[in-house]
Amino acid sequence: MKIILAIFRFFLWLRYKVEIKWTEILKHDWPILLLPNHVALVDPQILIAFLYKYLKVSPVASEKFYNKPILKQLMNSVWTVPIWDFEVWADPEKVREVFWNIVNWLKEWKNILIYPSWQIYRQWFESIIGKQSVYNIAKLMPENTKVIWIRDTWLWGSMWSMAWDNWKTWFWILALKSLFYIFVNFIFFVPKRNVTLELEDITDQINLYKNMSLWEFNKYLESFYNKNWEEKITYIKHYFFYNDVKSKKEPELITWSLKELNNIKSHDLSKIDEEVKNKIIEKISDIKEIDKNNIKENSKLIVDLYFDSLDLSEIKSYVQTNFEWASNPPINDLKTVWDLFIMAVWQSDNVEELKECNWQNNESSWDLVERI
């Protein structure tokens, strides 16, 4: 394993000049929970390869990537903990199982790396909003767990980031391109991208904020990741003999960025039964434990109501199982309460093949974890 990671680290070194600050805090006789920001798809590769010199880490990864050929074997070699792909489904039994695995691994003194945002950057700053995973893990983790923040910088603009092409390029195409760039630059002449990994021990702060609200907890995390404010987009050329990014521009609109989430369209709801609307609003009220009078038809699910991936999966499941004519739009299309109304009466613009619903109860994702 050491040899494989050493070879992989060498290939990463050809492109990335990595500086790790304050590695001394990684020394600990008890389990460590590492919480990095997620700028690009390449940052977990950098983290695992370069941190392995100091400690063994088990990353938590989406099944979307874990189940890919070759990647699965590589991830298993670094003790990856797979977790559901929320864009497809979030089965409650899988949620229970994954949280138990993470907590039990910490109890066994294993080090866990998990991304609080559960997605790569959609803009130049970290946005966690209503994500609950780390908040709930913090409540359940052993008392002797050390919590370390990791902030990586200078990857916004990498071809592995959304700032390159809004993630339109397939993962393996990016991997093949990376190998091509290495060899076309005669291996040792690949233009370097500087990457900084800053580490900070926040154990005491996490133990304090985990007793506060989810909003306060996530805002605290964001305050560290965004401490330096705007991370300037940086395009680094891929050839020592030619500047291929001279005229490169950032995508006008990035999927699931705050700009895109706030870019909503209105609908004609006059023909939708009030009972349908009321049932959906009541369910939202139940999931988020908020007064239904504070839920408006144009309320944004993520930005205004603080939905996370589990909440989106639960409300989508509820609509599919409780309304006979419900459509099956991609979960990414559910941005507002309006969209749920439209989904309930099969008027969504974009639908997928309807999959069997396994949500057997009406537990909110919060209640689900609280009972683990």
Clarify whether residues 314 and 220 are in a common domain. Answer: no
Res 183 pLDDT > 80: yes
Same domain membership, residue 296 and residue 211: no
Domain for residue 230, yes or no? no
Q: Can you give the residue range of the structural domain that contains 125?
A: 2-225
| Lowest-confidence region among 52-66, 68-82, 109-123, 282-296 | 68-82
Residues 217 and 276 in one domain: no
pLDDT of residue 185: 98
What is the pTM assigned to this prediction?
A: 0.81
57: number of Cβ within 10 Å: 20
| Residue 96 lies inside a defined structural domain of this protein | yes
At residue 151, φ and ψ (nearest 5 deg) are -115, 115
Mean pLDDT in the chain? 85
Q: Is residue 237 in some structural domain?
A: no
Give the Cα-Cα-Cα angle 116, 118, 124 (nearest 5 degrees): 85
Domain count, the chain: 2
Is residue 217 located within the same domain as residue 337?
no
Same domain, 47 and 190: yes
In a domain, 256, yes or no: no
The CATH number covering residue 137 comes to 3.40.1130.10
Q: Is the pLDDT of residue 91 over 80?
A: no
Q: How much is the pLDDT for 272?
A: 87
Among 3-7, 136-140, 153-157, 172-176, which is the least confidently predicted range?
Answer: 3-7
Residue 1 has pLDDT above 80, yes or no: no
In a domain, 116, yes or no: yes
Q: Are residues 181 and 39 in the same domain?
A: yes
**Does residue 257 form part of some domain?**
no
- In this structure, the strands spanning 146-153 and 193-201 are antiparallel
- On whether both 163 and 291 belong to a single domain, the answer is no
Question: Looking at residue 325, which CATH number applies to its domain?
Answer: 1.10.1200.10
Q: Which two tokens stand for residue 268?
A: 């004609």
| pLDDT tens track for 209-249 | 999 998 899 999 998 888 876 678 899 999 999 999 999 99
Is residue 143 in some structural domain? Answer: yes
CA 132 from centre of chain: 11
Shared-domain flag, residues 276 and 129:
no
Dist. CA 215–CA 236, nearest whole Å: 36
